[in-house]
Structure 1
Amino acid sequence: MERTGLITMKGNPITLVGNEVKVGDKAPDFTVLDITLSTKRLSDYKGKLKIISVTPSLDTPVCDMQMRTFNEKASKYKDAVVLNISMDLPFAIKRFCTTAGIENVEGLSDYKDADFGQKYGLLIKELRLLARAVLVIDKDDNIIYYELVKEVTDHPDYDKLFAFLDNL
């Protein structure tokens, strides 16, 4: 499924590929790779609150800041696992996390199959990158928070997200 008109990149409309998800949906299981090239699935985090930060590429200033922001705030949410999913290669994610001192966010890569991107409707057709988004998935794997950032080069609404998390 292709969807247009939802997001832009530097003001230009781009196409999202995959199934649209929304608050209230059961979160689809997905397969990505961790920094050791091991397969990770949503089901690996069963029974935990999952905060998922989705970034196009950690090699850009906005994505860099998004990962650092989540890393800084993540330790506040003791019962949650914080994941960052991008199309970056696992080696690049590992290098970024080491250099940036990322210890509270698990960096994951969707580069191999774009399974996450397609199942969550976040794969950008024109670029084969992921759209910028934030999801919160509860312990029963229901999507309870979702923000698709309208302009890929903008930050998510951190204040709204962290206020939501603080009220859980």
Structure 2
Amino acid sequence: MKNLGGSDDARFAGLPFLPASRPPATPNQLETNMASITIGGNEVHTVGTPPAEGAHAPSFDLTGVDLGEISLGGLSGQNVVLNIFPSIDTPTCAASVRAFNERAAALDNTTVLCVSADLPFAQQRFCGAEGIDGVLMGSTFRTAAFGKDYGLTMGDGPMAGLLARAVLVVDGDGQVVHSQLVPELADEPDYDEALAAL
């Protein structure tokens, strides 16, 4: 079975084949303000850039595993760690949820929110099978606004339309105190650096 995007990278082993890429996005399709990451060494671009440290975090409305709403406003007054990734059904994304779940119990006044485009049913199934109960799961399936507002929607490449891997830490006042866009999609984020910002 050919690996993701035609890559021979072992981190993508076992994933179903996806076309090497969609037709390249034109400048009109991608904002001039974009970031570059790689998937198995192949460059792709986000539509926009993630909020920088010191910026005010954009508001959002996500869908939880109970199909209820999760909003940044509903979490105000506490720190929020946003663990953002393409899909829970990839090894690196699953590893990041497990890692933050292990660390969440030791965090005071902090919510870890894992965000992907997966349906809430898939997120709930994963959490049940893995015994994940220390983090919240949020789905973008009802709206593309989160990826656009946070500058994390991939605009080209085999995973266009999904979210790039990033970790942002937002303090109780809504200010971004840590922002990491992971340069290679197959790599895990820097957990220690993110949690040191709390």
Q: Same fold (TM over 0.5)?
A: yes
Q: Which structure has the higher relative contact order (CA within 8 Å, separation 6+)?
A: 1
Contact 1:4 1:14 in 2 (8 A): no
Report how far residue 145 of structure 1 moved.
0.4
2:71 corresponding residue in structure 1:
41
Tell whether 2:179 aligns with 1:146: yes
2:197 corresponding residue in structure 1:
164
SS in 2 for 1:146: strand
Equivalences, count? 165
Structure with more strand by fraction = 1
Tell whether 2:150 aligns with 1:117: no
Letter of the aligned partner of 2:45 in structure 1? T
Report how far residue 135 of structure 1 moved.
0.6
Q: 1:93 to 1:24 in 2, by over 3 A?
A: same
Whole-angstrom distance in 1 between the partners of 2:32 and 2:132? 34
Whole-angstrom distance in 1 between the partners of 2:131 and 2:100? 12
Relative to the length of structure 2, the TM-score reads 0.79
Whole-angstrom distance in 1 between the partners of 2:41 and 2:89? 20
Structure index of larger Rg: 2
- What are the Cα deviations for residues 17-42 of structure 1, in whole angstroms up to 9, with x where unaligned? 14541000011101111112222211
Q: How does 1:82-97 map to 2 (within 5 A)?
A: 82-97=112-127
2:97 corresponding residue in structure 1:
67
CA RMSD, aligned part only? 1.4
Whole-angstrom distance in 2 between the partners of 1:22 and 1:162? 17
Match for 2:162 among 129, 141, 145?
129
Q: 1:36 to 1:18 in 2, by over 3 A?
A: farther
Aligned residues: percent identity? 39
